[in-house]
Chains A and B, each alone.
Chain A
Amino acid sequence: MITFEDVVKIYPGGGTAVDHLTLELPTGRTTVLVGPSGCGKTTSLGMINRMVRPTSGRVLIDGRDVAEQDEALLRRGIGYVIQHAGLFPHRTVLDNVATVPMLLGQSRRQARTAALGLLERVGLSAEFAGRYPAQLSGGQQQRVGVARALAADPPVMLMDEPFSAVDPVVREGLHREFLRLQQDLHKTIALVTHDIDEAIKLGDVVAIFRQGGRLAQVGTPRQLLEEPADEFVAEFVGRDRGLRSLSFDDATEPPVRPLGETGEHELVLDDAGRPLGWKSPTGLEATGGTFTRTDSLRLVTDLAISSPAGIAVRVGPDGAADGTVRHHDLVDYLAARRLRRASEPTP
């Protein structure tokens, strides 16, 4: 667990970067620090591994004040990932990843062998091992950066805008990898980003900072979306909060009708039962996509809205259609859901 105890950071020029921050980052969870530029999120992150010294207040990791520990040793036990990876250009990918274990005294061979395993873990094949950072794309470099941070198996990881410097498609992939890794590893992660969508997607806990270094709200992504503390948070989280909060509910919630009940619309299937499209005077119109039981309510809503028939098609694991959700039923369901939520006691 990482704890900020009334931490203040004022720079010599006079600017207050962090204004009396008290925050707890739970063990084994991802806490995202998010906010506009100048809100102190990166400064706060830097105080965890002593790259920045607090003007007052303490930062504790598992109860121990970081100021009381040897800087270099502290940092060897914390994984650090930054934008553009900051890989050593003069070392191969493998040696980059093996850096901290070697600093900690492991033999080169041991460190390199372990590094190979880590590369695989972040989705890079062994052929990347002997390459230099200059030969890698941005996304690949970022993966190496993550592998490097994981190499010494630190309990704590700090990530400073780790996915900002890559294009959106690559970023999607990296997000998925990140969530998969964290599911396996359960590290205590502090991640800084300026992108609220990324924060909501990746964070177990999200801390929103406002300019001037003050904490605006801390909570789960759902809490932030559904119960913003003030105007600033609501604005920052964005206009389509309602739609986005649907991402947190499952596709199994709304009522599903069996295949036969599609009213005046006819769903055409192939021999294996897979949907081909909706019958129309001119031929077939594409369904625009299907959903499965593991998808989110948001996807179902989107499909129902964009479908030419106003009906979202559900498929099973084999791709065969096994049910539909009609637009009207969805609207009724959402209305009932809202009423239900309103009458629930606030946690």
Chain B
Amino acid sequence: MITYLSNNGDTILAALRQHIVLALLPVVIGFLVALPIGYLGVRFPWFYHPLVNICGVLYSIPSLALFVFLPVILGTKILSPLNIVVALTIYTVALLARTVADGLRSVDTLVTRSATAMGYRRLRRLTDVELPVALPVILAGLRVATVANISLVSVGALIGVGGLGQLFTRGFQLFYLEPILVGIILSVLLAAVADLTIVLVQRAITPWTRFEHSDRGAA
């Protein structure tokens, strides 16, 4: 193992770098796209169920199938990394749009009614009240999307682009265990770090959640 690592340090790092970009870019883009779409699912109640259904269908498409199908729609080459990014963005949106909608719906109606009665207009109420309160739910969805993306990027190795997935295919072709193990460990570690980061960010920006379910003070 040590020899493998010392001889291939550069390849491994390059693969890791590519993996991070391919996994996180879709998360960012997907999140930004999912926010307004999710909001629409709440603003127009008739849209919620069709939205959930469409998202469900999109999310159920197997990753490899989507990777190879996108060149047809996008006009890209099969071996282009763009396929991976677009495919993962679609998955992220499919997951997060629903999460955003559910998160917003989970805000206590007493709170939104209160805000309206105090004189908040719709947009400001969304940014000042509804989104912040829905944040824990939305960030939980973000964790899932991020970890899932990190895992899916490796499948891209089958179409020649795959970040750490390249280590898997290399190891498999050469019947060599080390690269596979390194790839798996790095992938899992990356997912763990990303997950933890989001958890820490969530704790920092939603300080009030620390006190929910805790004991109340005396009257």
Taking Cβ atoms with an 8 Å cutoff, the residues of A that contact B are 49, 51, 72-78, 80, 82-91, 99-100, 103, 131-140, 148, 158, 166, 169-170, 173
Known contacts A82-B110, A86-B110: A134-B115 contact under CB 8 Å = no
Contacts A49-B117, A72-B120, A166-B219 known; list 15 others, CB within 8 Å. Answer: A51-B117, A76-B118, A77-B119, A80-B114, A82-B113, A88-B115, A89-B108, A89-B111, A90-B129, A90-B132, A90-B208, A132-B208, A134-B213, A135-B211, A135-B217
List the B residue with the shortest CB-CB distance to A99: B118
Q: How many A-B residue pairs have CB under 8 A?
A: 88
Q: Which residues of B contact A82 (CB under 8 A)?
A: 110, 113-114, 117
Decide if B117 touches A75 in the complex (CB within 8 Å).
yes
List the B residue with the shortest CB-CB distance to A142: B219
Cross-interface CB contact of A132 among B108, B110, B207, B218, cutoff 8 Å: B207
Cross-interface CB contact of B216 among A85, A86, A100, A136, cutoff 8 Å: A136
Q: Which residues of A contact B135 (CB under 8 A)?
A: 90
Question: When chains A and B are docked, how far (Å) is the Cα of A84 from the Cα of B108?
Answer: 11
Q: Which residues of B contact A158 (CB under 8 A)?
A: 117
Q: Which residues of A contact B118 (CB under 8 A)?
A: 75-76, 80, 99-100, 103, 148
Decide if A134 touches B214 in the complex (CB within 8 Å).
yes
Main secondary structure of the interface of B (DSSP, over half): helix
A-B contact pairs, 11 of them (CB 8 A): A73-B119, A74-B119, A86-B108, A88-B115, A89-B212, A103-B119, A132-B208, A134-B211, A137-B219, A138-B219, A140-B217
Decide if A137 touches B218 in the complex (CB within 8 Å).
yes
Question: When chains A and B are docked, how far (Å) is the Cα of A91 from the Cα of B132?
Answer: 9
Known contacts A137-B218, A140-B219: A86-B111 contact under CB 8 Å = yes
Q: Which of B79-133 contact A (CB under 8 A)?
A: 108, 110-111, 113-121, 129, 132-133
Task: Mark B134-160 against chain A: 1 for CB-CB distance below 8 A, else 0.
Answer: 010000000000000000000000000
B53 within 8 Å of A (CB atoms): no
Question: When chains A and B are docked, how far (Å) is the Cα of A91 from the Cα of B206?
Answer: 10
List the A residue with the shortest CB-CB distance to B118: A100
Q: Which residues of B contact A169 (CB under 8 A)?
A: 219
Known contacts A90-B133, A140-B219: A80-B117 contact under CB 8 Å = yes
Q: Which residues of A contact B119 (CB under 8 A)?
A: 72-77, 100, 103
Cross-interface CB contact of B206 among A78, A83, A90, A100, cutoff 8 Å: A90
Decide if A136 touches B207 in the complex (CB within 8 Å).
no
Q: Which residues of B contact A148 (CB under 8 A)?
A: 118
Question: When chains A and B are docked, how far (Å) is the Cα of A82 from the Cα of B118?
Answer: 11
Decide if B133 touches A88 in the complex (CB within 8 Å).
yes
Decide if A51 touches B113 in the complex (CB within 8 Å).
yes
- Rounded to whole Å, the gap between the CB of B54 and the closest CB of chain A is 30
